[in-house]
Amino acid sequence: QLAGLAVIAFGLWLRFGGVMAEFASDKKPPEYFFIGLYVLVGTGALMSTVGFFGCCGAARESQFLLGAFFACLLVIFAAEVTAGVFAFIGKKVAIQEVQKIYEDIYDEYMKNPGKANRTIYHYHSALQCCGKGDTEQQTELPCPENIQVPKASNCLVEIQNVIDANLHLVGIVGIAIAGITIFGMIFSMVLCCAIHNTREMI
């Protein structure tokens, strides 16, 4: 239950807090990345629910509930492994998607520099970068005041770094939760067998 609540909190923090939250209200948010976070939050909610029924099964010494708890944990474990493989394979796609969004708003701004564009400023502010590495064009872009333009990073590189870091965190959390899930399955089977043996003795 606690692990599920931790996963929910972590997914919501990635979605509504941190760097990626800056892009959530824009016209072209990185949907591929956010869909993965919604799946993460949904998995956390499922884990909390299953954990509650597991507690009920242990308290009532119900073999049926403990068996159902084991089956649900097995499904969650399989889903976690599948999601991990999917995230690893889809990381490149997520990076390309966000980079494409930035390049589109960059080209749109360069065609009409006089038009106010909060989206490109959100990217620059969140990523602490400005432009695509061209110093001459950086002077025409809406860059945060605390960035020194000659030393400003390439935003395409920063996008890759940010998504890599966030997915790395998701991977660490996923591995930790998978470990907890395995222990949950082991303990549920041990308890179920203990209840069965006790009833046979009685």
In tens, the pLDDT along 48-81 reads 888 887 888 788 877 888 888 888 888 888 877 7
Joined tokens for residue 55? 């507690």
Rg (CA), the chain: 23
In tens, the pLDDT along 13-62 reads 777 766 566 655 555 555 556 666 777 788 788 888 888 878 887 888 77
Round the average pLDDT of the chain to a whole number and report it.
75
Nearest Cα to Cα of residue 122 among 30, 14, 12, 11: 30
pTM, to two decimals: 0.64
Whole-number pLDDT of residue 22: 60
Whole-number pLDDT of residue 136: 54
Average pLDDT over residues 169-197: 80
Task: Please give the share of the chain, as a percent, with pLDDT higher than 90.
Answer: 0
Average pLDDT over residues 185-190: 85
CA distance 184 to 110: 55
Task: Please give the share of the chain, as a percent, with pLDDT higher than 70.
Answer: 73
Note the maximum CA span of the chain.
85
